[in-house]
Structure 1
């Protein structure tokens, strides 16, 4: 058959019986990077999404998944003509044991930044459309490294979540699998975070949350099996709850450190549960907070909404700016995050926390916001939230996205309501992986 079919990344190929190529070895030349950690190739009229490759390389690949008529997924098994950006993988857990932790560990820094910049540009153009793409090139920026890391893409992660395998050893999940790889040789964690963890044993399926806080203290928490997840609320709201709640529905035992994790940004100090959400990159909280505060640009006496607020990382400095004559309303669905924010920021008079689903809570907030901040989970905010935010007619919207596809889609939804991106920055907040974080400032008008 030769019918054209479209795939989620916007390329197409000839239809083919699903499964026909599974296990087949192909020789292909890789084209542009695609969202999800792949490069695009074409072979015999079909599209092949190739993992562990780089643009321009000629490689031999093995087809690992072939369940769509027009395209399949493959993995590099031999590099015949390498990219100048290729380097030996810096992650043994990924390269040797098949962990899914580091899918860009085989490219140097310049190659990784160019890869992510190209993916973000393609998603903004294809999904966001002309009104979003007019912002132009958005180069992905490097975040500052931990002082002891030695390189900006190493030793950046302050929080690691591990799972126990069938023998009770902790490790990472295998790529696209629930199987656990009991190999901790990943260079993402900050120095000392996983020291000695390989010697621990637990019940199969239990989890271990290991972190280093702002005081340099390590916290190790063992998390029991999950209870069935409640189905109330939208898919996005449930995702937000999982992100910020962590182990709220699971038993947990502190094995090392304090039951309270201390984090600091500027003059504010947070006391969080170990299972509570905080940005994983050591530099991300400060950098994001600075950008959001600058772009929101509130004056004394203004009202600001901070949606998907977590414990108030952005709400705190914004409340400082608006002062007691103004107000910041922070909306968060996770009860532990709301409790941590109220406890940690009790001395900030302009700040109010509201616990609830975002779209259902907006009507209870102080009206006429000067600025609205949104930091939704990976699935994005979606039409209902975007519509409600635009109906409030803020002067400025600052939208943060950790997935370029949902980020671009949300920006297009704002465009339907007359808001256009004026500034945009993107950060390599997840080095050695394909993930990227982007922030956009939107205002009304052409």
Structure 2
């Protein structure tokens, strides 16, 4: 990869949006993936990856010659490609749609979800018209003005650290760290720490968890590789003392980002997350949905899809796969009642321990710390329904095969990546299953990411043609 080399002056007409946060353009027969553009614009670009034998090149916009009506001033100077180009720099990643109006952002994401489900998933255009007519839905319209503008929603933020000890963020597909002095997408509690004013010399990564309920912030610091134990310990203690001077001091823990192990320096090594009906302990960097509204939106969507079809009721037997700390397991346990059962499967040891603590009073929940395919690949469990929320890479063929073998009546798949979702949908289709419900939410404003919830059911003979390509 040729990293962030500048070859300005190339003029292109921007084509359609593609998965991954870029648009497709062509120059002399070469495909170029262009970031910070909008379909239909004419722009000047700087090539950032352009190996002669590469199948495609990558580029950033440096100047707009003919702008889309949906182009707006980027809210974050450090992430704005145009301002970065004017200072002969590169933008930070993480806000690649910040130059696009919010309605157009959702339209672009809708187009990506449709394209992936049609091209990779095999769903026809007619089925998508029927099931996905609402497109990607806004989740911030009822918030504050800042939230309605797509800001102040992240409850989790990761930072890199420059060699001089300043917090920053990487540019897209780059090892370059750009110092920052704000993170507009984060909750105020994150920015209130003013991490950019602290010295993080000797620290490689900083992760911040700031629950939307205001119950206390946790800062995880990972010492730089190669430091002696004495030097690493001293760096962590110095940061903890510095952060103790914040107006609202956070908890601070030393963090091994490879093993997940933490060593508390001050406060506690976990945060308390809450939903309307449940409280959850999430230790260290354990997984939790990062948008402040995501827990409610996704649990309502997933359980609603099962309730709507009559697949979830008192006495039902369900599985929650890739269960994390129990976000879906807890309301599923409420829904099935004491006569039903919930199998909650999570591979990460620390997060599985959190689930045991969070669900200890629900006798109908069985917590299993294991890989999903190992648990589901065994004997039949008599499941009524399954909810799965896999990581970005998706579930994969072996997991799909094991789920199909369990013969549940319905499967609800929660996905943060349209491409891996579409691939898995195709695996299900090949096994005789169909998508019969699709909802998607803009839970990552100003980025290309989108959260999608689909329901899959066994194909009946009269509907086998519904999965045909258009």
- Give me the TM-score of the superposition, normalised by structure 1: 0.86
What is the Cα deviation at residue 26 of structure 1?
Answer: 1.6
Q: 1:133 to 1:48 in 2, by over 3 A?
A: farther
Counterpart of 2:365 in structure 1 is: 351
Match for 1:115 among 84, 99, 108? Answer: 108
C-alpha contact (below 8 Å) 1:208/1:222 kept by paired residues:
yes
For residue 265 of structure 1, report the CA deviation from its aligned partner.
1.5
Offset, 1:215: 3.4
Number of matched pairs:
412
Q: Indicate how the Cα distance of structure 1 residues 43 and 248 shifts in structure 2: closer, same or farther if over 3 A, else same.
A: closer
SS of residue matched to 2:128: coil
Q: How does 1:388-407 map to 2 (within 5 A)?
A: 388-407=402-421
Residues 331/150 of structure 1: CA separation in 2 closer, same or farther (3 Å cut): closer
Moved more, 260-269 or 21-30: 21-30
Question: 1:1-60, CA deviations, whole angstroms, 9 ceiling, x for partnerless residues?
Answer: xxxxxxxxxxxxxxxxx99x9826321111110111111112212212111100110111
Give the distance between the partners of 1:299 and 1:411, measured in 2 at CA.
26
Query: Cα–Cα, structure 1 residues 143 and 282, in superposed 2: closer, same or farther, change >3 Å?
Result: same
Given that residues 223 and 247 in structure 1 are in contact (C-alpha distance below 8 angstroms), is that contact kept between their aligned partners in structure 2? no
Q: CA RMSD in A?
A: 2.5
- Unaligned 5+ segments in structure 1 are 1-17, 229-244
CA positional deviation for 1:214: 4.3
Measured in 2, the distance between the counterparts of 1:153 and 1:102 equals 11
Q: Secondary structure at the match of 1:80?
A: strand
Partner of 2:163: 166
Counterpart for residue 370 of structure 1? 384
SS at match of 1:128: coil
Alpha-carbon distance in 2 for matches of 1:204, 1:117 = 43
What is the CA deviation profile of residues 101-126 of structure 1, one whole-angstrom value per residue up to 9, with x for unaligned ones? 21011011011111111111111111
Q: Is the 8 A contact 1:217 1:257 kept in 2?
A: no
User: Which has a greater percent of helix?
Assistant: 2
1:178 and 2:171 matched: no
Q: Which residue of 1 aligns with 2:210?
A: 212
Gaps spanning 5+ residues in structure 2: where?
85-89, 227-254, 464-470
Is 1:328 matched up with 2:324? no
3-state DSSP class of the match of 2:456? strand
Q: What is the CA-CA distance between 1:223 and the residue it aligns to?
A: 2.4
Partner residue in 2 for 1:129: 122
**Match status 1:79 vs 2:88:** no
Within 5 Å, give how 1:63-78 maps onto structure 2.
63-67=47-51, 68-78=53-63
Q: Please say if 1:277 is aligned against 2:287.
A: yes
Indicate the larger mover: 320-329 or 66-75.
Answer: 66-75
SS at match of 1:72: strand
Alignment equivalent of 2:196, drawn from 195, 198, 201: 198
Q: Work out whether residues 39 and 53 of structure 1, in 8 Å CA contact, stay in contact via their aligned partners in 2.
A: yes
Tell me by how many angstroms 1:70 deviates: 3.9
Out of 266, 269, 277, the position equivalent to 1:267 is: 277
Distance 1:28 1:66 in 2: 15
**Alpha-carbon displacement from aligned partner over 1:251-278 (angstroms, at most 9, x marks no partner):** 6455665433111112111112132111
Alpha carbons 1:300, 1:322 under 8 Å: kept? yes
User: Does structure 2 retain, via aligned residues, the 8 Å contact 1:127–1:405?
Assistant: yes
Which of 451, 458, 465 is the matching residue for 1:437?
A: 451
CA distance in 2, matches of 1:363, 1:85: 49
2:313 equivalent to 1:299 = yes
Q: Provide closer, same or farther for how the CA distance between residues 24 and 86 of structure 1 changes in structure 2, counting only shifts above 3 A.
A: closer
Structure-1 residue corresponding to 2:41: 57
Which of 95, 99, 104 in structure 2 is aligned with 1:106? 99
- 1:90 counterpart = 2:75: yes
| CA spacing shift, 1:352–1:197, aligned 2, 3 Å | same
User: Cα 1:432–1:214, aligned 2, differ >3 Å: closer, same or farther?
Assistant: closer
Q: CA deviation at 1:93?
A: 2.2
